[in-house]
């Protein structure tokens, strides 16, 4: 068994950004274990798509796993195809971004190898030891593989920074698994993001997040307008969702979504630990809070200590003016 294999996620030629974070984690693991790094993209169209080269990761090999039965996505097809790829490559570690799709198929894939999936890993230490959070982020637990066979790991959004550029481009090989329609028992339904009811905040590059400082539901249009002006997704702290002011799928935090946007704008959010664990991977954090001692300012790159009801309308106006 040798090598670190990363399974990336690409849909219709567009990368899920969490794939790059999984590659960053895999690079770290490859360095610690002195093993080569290999990339694979099931149903992938092209490795140079959507800026992958700009995020070059110095892999030693890459595979586009191609078969007409891999689209639309089904867990059966992914499990069968990736089982064949893993048997061919014999990696010691198989890493995934912890996306909704990965949650669906990766545990079954691990089971094919009599392994478990060590899910939602936030750090990798020497050993290697994989760290994941328990009890809503109150405890960190260390996991080490003791069984033989490939070790399956999914990487929590925002835990690894995907920004080191190696300048290396990768020429992928094609791997065509053996798949027949009779092997696929699942019938794909509507995609999660396309349901109109739900939102995948993990892929949003800009998020405006609102907290209890907004006071009441009737004030929400203030932040909705700001989000719209910025082209951002709207998110919230837990009390906002608990109150039913925004749907639960917009909650960020230990019992909500974990996000890693380029910009996270926290409006009237105090910065409780349960909220911070869900957004600490953001590249830049701006906080608006009238309490200059609010804990959110400890993780903020830019802080505005003031009343959101004065600041947000001015900010929205300025953004609209700047955008013409």
Ligand X SMILES: Cc1cc2nc3c(=O)[nH]c(=O)nc-3n(C[C@H](O)[C@H](O)[C@H](O)COP(=O)(O)OP(=O)(O)OC[C@H]3O[C@@H](n4cnc5c(N)ncnc54)[C@H](O)[C@@H]3O)c2cc1C
- Which segment (41-49, 88-96, 119-127, 252-260) binds ligand X by CB under 6 A? 252-260
Helix axes 308-323, 220-230, angle to 10 degrees: 30
Q: Applying CB under 6 A, does 243 fall inside the site for ligand X?
A: no
Q: Is 309 in the site for ligand X (CB under 6 A)?
A: yes
Residue in 99, 275, 287, 316 binding ligand X, rule: CB under 6 A: 275
- Binding residues with ligand X: total (CB under 6 A): 28
- 151 φ/ψ angles, rounded to the nearest 5 degrees: -100, 120
Query: What is the chain's alpha carbon radius of gyration, rounded to the nearest angstrom?
Result: 21
User: Binder to ligand X among 213, 261, 281, 303 (CB under 6 A)?
Assistant: 213
Asked if 298 is part of the footprint of ligand X (rule: CB under 6 A), the reply reads: no
Quick check: 274 and 137 in contact, CB under 8 A?
A: yes
* Residue closer to ligand X (CB basis): 55 or 238: 238
Q: How far is the CB of 135 from ligand X (least distance, A)?
A: 8
State yes or no: residue 282 binds ligand X (CB under 6 A): no
CA–CA distance, 177 with 159 (Å, rounded to integer): 32
Let me know if 200 is exposed, middle or buried by CB neighbors in 10 A (0-12, 13-18, 19+). middle
- Binder to ligand X among 14, 136, 169, 195 (CB under 6 A)? 136
Our CB check for ligand X shows the closer of 212 and 283 to be 212
**Which of 129, 125, 131, 106 lies closest to 116 in space, CA to CA?**
106
In total, the chain counts a number of residues equal to 324
Question: What token pair was written down for 180?
Answer: 């027949």
90: Cβ contacts below 8 Å, ≥ 6 apart:
1, 2, 3, 150
The single residue among 28, 83, 274, 280 that binds ligand X, judged by CB under 6 A, is 274
Q: Is 55 in the site for ligand X (CB under 6 A)?
A: no
Of 184, 228, 239, 299, the residue at the interface with ligand X (CB under 6 A) is 239
Under 8 Å between Cβ of 204 and 232: yes
- Kindly state whether residue 268 participates in binding ligand X, applying the rule CB under 6 A: yes
Tell me the window of 39-47, 91-99, 180-188, 268-276 that interacts with ligand X (CB under 6 A): 268-276
| Binding site residues, ligand X, CB under 6 A | 136, 211-213, 237-239, 251-256, 268-270, 272, 274-275, 278, 288-291, 294, 307-309
């Amino acid at each position: 068994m040798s090598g670190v294999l990363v399974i990336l996620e690409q849909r219709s030629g567009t990368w899920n950004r969490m794939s790059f974070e999984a590659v960053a984690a895999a690079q770290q693991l490859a360095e610690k274990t002195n093993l080569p790094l290999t990339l694979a993209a099931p149903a992938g169209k092209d490795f140079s798509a959507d800026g992958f080269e700009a995020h070059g990761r110095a892999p030693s090999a890459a595979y586009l796993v191609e078969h007409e039965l891999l689209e639309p996505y089904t867990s059966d097809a992914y499990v069968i195809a990736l089982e064949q790829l893993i048997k061919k490559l014999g990696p010691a570690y198989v890493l995934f971004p912890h996306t909704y799709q990965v949650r669906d198929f990766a545990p079954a894939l691990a089971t094919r190898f009599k392994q478990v999936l060590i899910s939602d890993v936030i750090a990798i230490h020497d050993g290697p030891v994989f760290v994941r959070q328990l009890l809503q982020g109150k405890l960190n637990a260390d996991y080490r593989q003791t069984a033989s066979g490939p070790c399956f790991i999914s990487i929590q959004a925002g835990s690894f920074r995907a920004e080191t550029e190696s300048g290396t481009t990768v020429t992928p090989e094609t791997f065509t698994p053996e798949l027949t329609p009779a092997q696929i028992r699942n019938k794909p339904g509507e995609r999660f993001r396309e349901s109109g009811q739900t939102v995948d905040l993990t892929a949003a590059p800009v998020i405006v997040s609102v907290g209890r400082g907004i006071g009441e539901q009737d004030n929400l249009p203030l932040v909705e307008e700001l989000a719209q002006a910025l082209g951002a997704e709207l998110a919230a702290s837990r009390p906002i969702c608990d109150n039913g002011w925004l749907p639960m799928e917009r909650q960020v935090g230990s019992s909500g979504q974990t996000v890693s946007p380029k910009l996270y704008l926290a409006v009237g959010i105090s910065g409780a630990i349960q909220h911070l664990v869900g957004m600490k991977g953001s590249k830049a954090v701006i906080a608006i809070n009238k309490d200059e001692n609010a804990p959110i300012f400890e993780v903020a790159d830019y802080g505005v200590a003031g009343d959101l009801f004065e600041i947000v309308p001015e900010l929205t106006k300025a953004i609209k003016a700047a955008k013409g």
